[in-house]
Amino acid sequence: MGEAVTTLDGWYTYHDFRTLNWQAWRAAQPSARHEALAQLLAFAENNQRAQRDRQGAYGQYAIAGHKADLLFLHMRPTLAALNQVKSEFQKTQFADFTLPSYSYISCVELSSYLAKPGVSVDLDPYLQSRLKPMLPEMQSICFYPMNKRRTGTDNWYMLSVEERRELMKSHGLIGRKYGDVVTQIITGSQGLDDWEWGVTLFAEDPLQFKKLVYEMRFDEVSARFAEFGAFYVGTRLSKLQWNRYLQV
Is beta strand 232-236 parallel, antiparallel or unpaired with respect to 154-155? unpaired
- Kindly state the average pLDDT of the residues 68-86: 98
Choice among 14-18, 75-79, 203-207, 223-227 with the minimum mean pLDDT: 223-227
- Kindly state the average pLDDT of the residues 147-164: 89
Q: What is the pLDDT of residue 163?
A: 87
- Helix or strand holding residue 210 (H, E): helix 207-217
Q: Which residues sit opposite 18 in a β-bridge?
A: 70, 100
Q: What is the pLDDT of residue 139?
A: 97
d(CA 14, CA 142): 15
- Residue 67 is assigned to a structural domain of this protein: yes
Contact in structure between 71 and 245 (CB atoms under 8 Å)? no
**226 phi-psi bin (left φ>0, alpha ψ -120 to 50, beta other):** beta
d(CA 114, CA 132): 15
- Residue 228 is assigned to a structural domain of this protein: yes
- Kindly state the average pLDDT of the residues 57-72: 98
- Residue 204 is assigned to a structural domain of this protein: yes
- Residue 24 is assigned to a structural domain of this protein: yes
- Residue 77 is assigned to a structural domain of this protein: yes
Contact in structure between 212 and 178 (CB atoms under 8 Å)? yes
Contact in structure between 77 and 131 (CB atoms under 8 Å)? no
Q: What is the pLDDT of residue 248?
A: 62
Does residue 113 register a pLDDT over 70? no
pLDDT digits (tens, 9 = 90+) for 7-41: 899 999 999 999 999 999 999 999 999 999 999 99
Buried-exposed string 225-246: b where 16+ CB fall within 10 A, e elsewhere = bbeebeebbbebbeeeebeeeb
Does residue 2 register a pLDDT over 80? no
Where is pLDDT greater, at 12 or 124? 12
102 is catalytic: no
Does residue 122 register a pLDDT over 90? no
Q: Of 12, 144, 178, 232, which is the active-site residue?
A: 144
pLDDT digits (tens, 9 = 90+) for 176-203: 889 999 999 999 999 999 999 999 999 9
Cite the beta strand spans of the chain per DSSP E. 7-20, 57-63, 70-76, 98-111, 140-148, 150-151, 154-155, 182-188, 197-203, 226-228, 232-236
- Residue 1 is assigned to a structural domain of this protein: no
pTM over 0.75, yes/no = yes
- Domain span at residue 29 reads 7-246
d(CA 185, CA 175): 12
Q: What is the pLDDT of residue 143?
A: 98
Contact in structure between 72 and 48 (CB atoms under 8 Å)? no
Does residue 168 register a pLDDT over 90? no
- Kindly state the average pLDDT of the residues 142-159: 92
- Residue 2 is assigned to a structural domain of this protein: no
State the total domains in the chain.
1
CATH at residue 206: 3.30.70.1030
